[in-house]
Amino acid sequence: MEILAFGVQADEKPLIESAFAGRHEIRCLSVFLDEDTAPIAAGHEIISTSVNADLNPRVLQTLAAGGTQLIAQRSTGFNNIDLDVAERLGLTVARVSSYSPYSVAEFAWTLAMAVNRRIVRAATRTRDFDFRLDGLMGRDLRGRTVGVLGTGKIGEAFTRIAHGFGMRLLGWDVTENPACVELGMTYVPKDQLLAESDLVTLHVPLMPATQRLIDADALKVMKDDAILVNSSRGGLIDTAALVAELREGRFTGVGLDVYEAEAGLFFLDKSLEAVDDDTLARLVTFPNVLVTSHQAYYTEDAVGQIIEATVRNVLDYTEGRRSENVLVPRS
């Protein structure tokens, strides 16, 4: 059986091909799955998709009509898949329920430190042999307060690093994580966390209840000199509201690895095109903002675990098993 994998990055391709060797044939495509590319899947019972695939009702209908029966998504998030429509069409959907939390937690800290210590500005200057320190002053994080929104596996990993920095720990989640409490974290209401934190980091999933969790009102509660980091999902932040606050000169730094309208942009080379997203274009002009391309998960360890889980999902499907990774079971 040939499996068709959409949205495969160049670094990812040899890992996927090696993982499936001797099990199933796999054809890797760099294009992402959307309404234009869905017809390519015709005749493939199993496809694999990336986090930036668009599996809306029309795409799912095209897949089902072409004979697809399993969608194996190579990510934890699945807000890009209309699960109700998939179930109605008889499609089985599986995801990767977990992978290395350290990949994302460590990258979130990388963003925080980069904007705090003005690393990008400093590196750009030194390439031009400009070694002045003007505008490069940062702050010690030891003794300051970090607010962690979402204290699951990734939030816990971030908290452990913050504890190592000697920071005061505040958390917000629907349930408390005993490991975080043991580290000294105090759980507080969201507004209190935002008001007291010098560094705010987001590690919650994107769902209706968390859509634009950080909206205009939440941003106004935050300290004027706070640092905001989002390495989870772009839809957690109202980006237009964030731009409005940045225009007022607020926030020491903002580090974003995700963007609410990233589909069709991230993972692609748009350097020779005119980007028509005015909000993103304005966002990247602020000197205290660092935007990266949804790469927090992108380590050898995490990607390897994602691929291994995807292989298991395919084998479970072909051999009639069901695991915790299945979002929509086989009908």
Q: Which residues are catalytic?
A: 233, 262, 294
**Cα–Cα distance between 101 and 293 in angstroms, integer?**
18
**Cα–Cα distance between 12 and 22 in angstroms, integer?**
18
Q: Give the torsion sign (CA, 177, 180, 186, 188).
A: negative
**Cα–Cα distance between 112 and 255 in angstroms, integer?**
6
**C-beta pairs of 61-66 under 8 Å, 24+ apart in sequence:** 61/85, 61/89, 62/35, 62/38, 63/38, 63/91, 64/89, 64/90, 64/91, 66/38, 66/39, 66/41, 66/42
Q: Which residue has the tokens 């194996």?
A: 72
State the Cα angle at 297 between 237 and 259, rounded to 5°: 25
